Amino acid sequence: MRFSTLDPEALRREVERFDAELPIERAFTPPSSWYVEPAFYALEQRAVLWRSWQPVARAEKLAQPGDYVSGCYAGMPWVVVRGDDGELRGFHNVCAHKGREVVTGSGRVDLAAGREPRLVCGYHAWAYRLDGALASAPQMAGVEAFARETMGLSPLAVEQWGHWVFVNGDAGAAPLSRTLAPLDGALEAGGWRELTFVQRVEYEVASNWKVIADNYLDGGYHVPHMHPTLAAQIDMKSYRTELFEHYSVQTSSPRSADARGPLDYDPEARIGGGAIYAWIYPTLMLNRYGPCLDSNHLVPLGPHRCKVIYEFYFAETEGEQARRFIEQSIAQAEITQREDIEICESVQIGLGSPAYDRGRYAPRVEQGEHHFHQLLARAYAAELGVTLCSASR
């Protein structure tokens, strides 16, 4: 079914066409409208992206009192600041006067003795204390019914987990650390917090962000066909997917050295005892193996474009041997990412075809993808007031 635009009733129907209660063996994938229609992007901004935990900065960027980092995620401007009391706080980065971003980029607020630390809007110099309260509003004398206490910055939920600081547009969201406690334990067994940040790389991809998530969550289905160098490192027969409430984990053992195919190095040197591929709803992926961690964060830019932010962390960063290993690992990640970009951009083209509506799942491998779609459907339905029924369509 093809649409140029979706009115509210058509949007509801398209949400209802995915039955989140069907077992994977009977389920159809979501209709292509979920991936190509602007109405769905607007819906998921409200229902998914603005109401979920998003990593916005490495924790080291907010280590000292007065440090702040700002940005915009899926149309939601944000700022996080470390207060002069040492507390992290997050806010919608929107001045109450005319809507300008209060600050841009990152920096450190002046904490000189005798001066109240403030975030100052560059438009008309409205100033906000580091707890978000409005401190001053120049030239506003004489305005009637000016309730200063209601003119502060709107709060965001903020939390540090692992290497990052996260924000959530739902100020009352359940703590991230509680949700991810089992995953944290699995990662901490390998000492992931002690790894050192080395490099950040960004890719812009001509596909919907969910196409990239689907590709990541297909249980390794595409790896033997599209990633020969990755397939040479991991034992696909050992590949497993485990589902949790708001995340999933894919694991694989390393491939033996005598079966490494096109590689010129022992795969166990990079994969170690095995690979952990953790997906955290809706947009964060953590690839943990051997002495390495790669993080992939999806930043939606619209229904047909997104950005992927890669960060690389390593156990050893000093010495020639460590530098060679880092170069090899990042080069391998670059190969895999370029292959995935080719896949996802081609899928996005196909999703726009009048010949495609929806597909089926491979039940033995695509459990993570099905789980993702169930979470999306429930979030969409809650936002629209739709009751998802258990009936094949």
- What is the per-residue pLDDT for 6? 79
Give the pLDDT score at 259: 52
The answer for residues whose C-beta is within 8 angstroms of residue 232's C-beta and 6 or more apart is: 255, 259, 260, 261, 262, 263, 267
CATH number of the CATH domain containing 333: 3.90.380.10
- Are 206 and 130 within one domain? no
- Do 101 and 237 lie in a common domain? no
Assess contact for 229 and 218: CB atoms under 8 A. Answer: no
Q: Alpha carbon of 50 to those of 178, 244, 316, 379: distances in Å?
A: 19, 21, 36, 12
- Indicate if 349 and 219 belong to the same structural domain: yes
What are the per-10-residue average pLDDT scores of the chain (393 residues)? Answer: 71 95 97 97 97 98 97 97 96 97 95 83 96 94 88 97 97 94 88 95 97 92 62 68 95 67 55 82 94 96 97 96 93 90 97 97 96 98 84 45
Q: Are residues 179 and 154 in the same domain?
A: no
Tokens 């603005």, residue? Answer: 50
pLDDT at 205: 98
Is 149 a member of any domain? Answer: yes
Q: Within this chain, do residues 194 and 300 fall inside the same structural domain, yes or no?
A: yes
Q: Tokens 């709107």 map to which residue? A: 154
Listed residues 103, 138, 161: the one ending a domain = 161
Instruction: Give me the pLDDT at residue 1, please.
Output: 43
Q: Which of 111, 140, 161 is the last residue of a domain?
A: 161
How far, in Å, CA of 88 to CA of 131, rounded? 9
Range of the domain at 88: 57-161
**23 domain residue, yes or no:** no
Number of residues assigned to the chain:
393
Number of structural domains found in the chain: 2
Q: Are residues 154 and 249 in the same domain?
A: no
Token pair in block for residue 15: 């949400």
